[in-house]
Structure 1
Amino acid sequence: MQVIETKKLTKTYTALTAVDNLDMKIEKGEVFGLLGPNGAGKSTTLLMLTTLIPPTSGTALVNNFDIIQEPDRVRKSIGIVFQDPSSDEVLTGYENLKLHGLLYDMDAKLREERIVEVLALVDLTGRKDDMVKKYSGGMRRRLELARGLMHYPEILFLDEPTLGLDPQTREHIWEYIKKLATEKHITIIITTHYMDEADRLCDRLAIIDRGKIVALGSPDQLKKDLGGDIVRMKMKNFDKDKLRDLDYVKDVKEDDGAISVTVKDAGRHLQDLLARVGTVESVEVRPLTLEDVFLHYTGRTIREGAPEGGWAEKVMAARLRK
């Protein structure tokens, strides 16, 4: 069952096309990733799907509600956790959750029951009466998750959910996200520029580059579609066209003074490959990664810099003031 469908979803800013005729379908209960570098269009897509900015053209259905014609019904059925923490630092964890429940006009009894539930889910029951300014970065992120779940959303949007967190805290956040999908059956849409995060969490993902989907599928399927292993060789002279003519070679790329060859069944063909290329200074054989998939479809590696966005909370604040 589909819970999100985009139909030629497009967003332009003067001469810049941030999202370009996006068509995709997301199934109920899956963890779906939007993977791409800074400026790819991930956060812009999320902001349109959550009705915070209007598309220039096209539309989307979120939980069977049109984002243009039925924005209020869309917002009631989703939860959102943006990149930057937006909880009030001078309120306690409990008070932040209560405020969120009041904004959604939740019944008082249900609101209190739900606060207890979501605090337990993210292991913050013992810190509920502490002011948020005393929370660590990981605790704040968990509180943001709890707040996004307060009103029983059927779909949860997470924009760069582990940005700036240490490796151990990232692992813990991943566990919470997986628990939400498997135990609570919530559909989760994640934007990320971290390959390991996409590989670990996503049932399926769309690789977005310059506003377009360039590949879509499960992480394993995307790697399988490329096929084989990567043989990376350093050498002084080589003929790329000659290598491409070999029936077991699927792709050849040159990078950083070396050549990377995607080889089907490298264990079987490695010796023949090395014999054909001549003198090799060094060789490395490894399985395909999502980084290789991204390089294949975009022609460049993903930039592990600061992600796009950072202004989503300002958009949300402006909408709430209206």
Structure 2
Amino acid sequence: MNAIIESAGLRRSYGGFDAVRGIDLTVARGELFALLGTNGAGKTSTLELLEGQAVPTGGTVRVLGRDPFHDRAEVRPRVGVMLQEGGFPTELTVLETVRMWAGCTSGARPADEALDMTGLGGRRAVRVKQLSGGERRRLDLTLALLGRPEVLFLDEPTTGLDAQSRRDTWELIRELKNQGTTVLLTTHYLEEAEQLADRLAIMHQGLIATTGRVADVVAERPSRISFELPFDRFLGELPPLASMGVTRHDTVGRTVLLETRNLQHTATELLSWAHHAGVELHSLDARSASLEEAFMEIAKNLDHEETR
């Protein structure tokens, strides 16, 4: 792996509170990596260390082979950073803000080009104080992209965006990744991570609870099938559930819920039985686990372990 972002035993403490408690992280060149976690999990604290905004309490961090804090002069021109919230002079227009930032950025793209990339071209003459929350987030992203970064850090990039703007931003991030940009993002939108990320890590109370490819993290959770049996049929008439690959089942009224590690096999067995028995399965629904389900289960299990 050609690592562009690396950390080993990374720690960050505030007084007596350990926000980051020793994490190992590797992001490859051209990869899009998502850092997930509940509020207070340590995502932003970790991101600030990787960006070089603070010195770690312990451990090491490297970005583009350099220490992002102590070698800031070498690293910063090659990195774009989108914070959770930017602080802009409210009386400047959008174009004035971008031009001001471009004056502090090595090899900045033309202001109009950057604004068009994020869909703010039509808002050039609007004062920052008149922008909506979503438009301010797009302005944050515009400034992060000004220097044509090799590495892009995005902290909650689509917070406050409407559905269309969010998807437009996803397309822009995909395009940047396809051009070779390495992206590390945090997000509370699990669909966003599922759509964009090559790999992800889920943090909990300063530690990484699990990491891997999105498909692998999701595959660790069972798939589900649900359906309604006719009133003249009963669950016991189905083939033995174990032979169908069912690992857990439940009933709610006439609705049957099945969990399985082999969705294709279980669904095939169920539909074959229904066909030969002449049974119509109402409200039939079969689906693999989602990242949201995996995330919620991991968080629930970790909370349970800590209260034991």
Structure 1 and Structure 2 fold alike (TM over 0.5) = yes
* Local SS of the residue matching 1:80: strand
Contact 2:244 2:269 in 1 (8 A): no
1:183-231 deviations in whole A, cap 9, x for unaligned? Answer: 4x211111012111111111211111121112222222222244x5125
For 1:50 and 1:87, how far apart are their aligned partners in 2?
Answer: 20
> Could you tell me how far apart the structure 2 residues matched to 1:39 and 1:194 are?
16
What residue identity is the alignment partner of 1:91? L
Would you say 1:177 and 2:178 are equivalent positions?
Answer: no
Structure 1 vs Structure 2: percent identity of aligned residues? 34
Distance 1:252 1:291 in 2: 21
Tell me the amino acid that sits aligned with residue 198 of structure 1.
A
SS at match of 1:26: strand
Q: Could you tell me which amino acid in structure 1 is paired with residue 164 of structure 2?
A: Q
Match runs of 1:41-80 below 5 Å:
41-80=42-81
- On the 8 A contact 1:252/1:262 being kept in 2, the answer is no
Q: Retained in 2: the 8 A contact 1:116–1:125?
A: yes
Distance in structure 2 (CA, Å) of the matches to 1:14 and 1:129: 45
- More moved, 262-271 vs 14-23: 262-271
Number of corresponding residues = 277
Q: What CA distance in whole angstroms lies between the structure 2 residues aligned with 1:252 and 1:71?
A: 56
Aligned to 1:278: none
Shift in Å, 1:98: 1.6
- Equivalent residues in 2 for 1:29-108 (5 A)? 29-104=30-105, 106=106
Q: Which residue of 2 aligns with 1:230?
A: 224
Residue 130 of structure 1 is matched in structure 2 by 126
For 1:147-166, what aligned pairs fall within 5 Å after superposition? Answer: 147-166=143-162
**C-alpha contact (below 8 Å) 1:34/1:189 kept by paired residues:** yes
- From the superposition, tell whether residues 246 and 88 of structure 1 become closer, same or farther in structure 2 (CA, over 3 Å): farther
The answer for the alignment partner of 2:190 in structure 1 is 195
Amino acid at match of 1:267: A
- Could you tell me how far apart the structure 2 residues matched to 1:206 and 1:15 are? 25
The answer to whether the Cα contact below 8 Å between 2:61 and 2:68 also exists between their aligned partners in 1 is yes
Structure 2 equivalent of residue 167 of structure 1: 163
Divergent runs of 4+, >4 A = 249-253, 268-271, 282-285
- Whether the 8 Å contact between 1:250 and 1:264 is mirrored in structure 2 is no
Alignment of 1:9-20 (within 5 A): 9-20=10-21
Whether contact under 8 Å (1:3, 1:63) holds in the other structure is yes
State the shift of 1:139 in Å. Answer: 2.6
Task: Give secondary structure in 2 for the equivalent of 1:176.
Answer: helix
The Cα RMSD (Å) is 3.4
Give 1:93 shift.
1.5
Displacement of 1:131 in angstroms is: 1.6
| Pair 1:216-2:217 in alignment | no
Q: Separation in 1 of the partners of 2:113 and 2:30?
A: 20
Give the 3-state SS of the residue equivalent to 1:103 in structure 2.
coil
Asked if the contact 1:59/1:67 (under 8 Å) is kept, the reply is: no
Q: Please tell me whether residue 115 in structure 1 is matched to residue 111 in structure 2.
A: yes
Show structure 2 runs of 5+ residues with no match.
228-241, 251-255, 272-282, 304-308
Distance 1:89 1:209, change over 3 A: same
Cα distance in 2 for partners of 1:86, 1:260 equals 50
Q: Deviations over 1:234-258 (max 9, x none)?
A: xxxxxxxxxxx989456799xxxx9
**Corresponding residue SS for 1:23:** strand
Range with greater deviation from structure 2 (88-97 or 9-18) = 9-18
Equivalent residue for 1:297? 298
Aligned to 2:230: none
Deviation at 1:119, TM superposition (A): 1.9
Give the deviation of 1:283 after TM superposition.
Answer: 9.4
Q: Distance in 2 between matches of 1:165 and 1:59?
A: 35
Per the TM alignment, residue 73 of structure 1 is displaced from its structure 2 partner at its CA by: 2.4
Q: Residue type matched to 2:89 in 1?
A: D
**Could you tell me whether the CA contact under 8 Å between 1:40 and 1:208 is conserved in 2?**
yes
Q: Specify whether residues 128 and 293 from structure 1 end up closer, same or farther in structure 2 by C-alpha distance, changes over 3 A only.
A: same
Match of 1:241 in 2: none
* Structure 1 position 262, deviation (Å): 4.4
Q: Separation in 2 of the partners of 1:269 and 1:54?
A: 57
1:97 Cα offset (Å)? 1.3
Instruction: With the length of structure 1 as denominator, give the TM-score of the two structures.
Output: 0.74
TM-score normalised by the chain length of structure 2: 0.77
Asked which structure has the greater RCO (Cα within 8 Å, sep 6+), the reply is 1
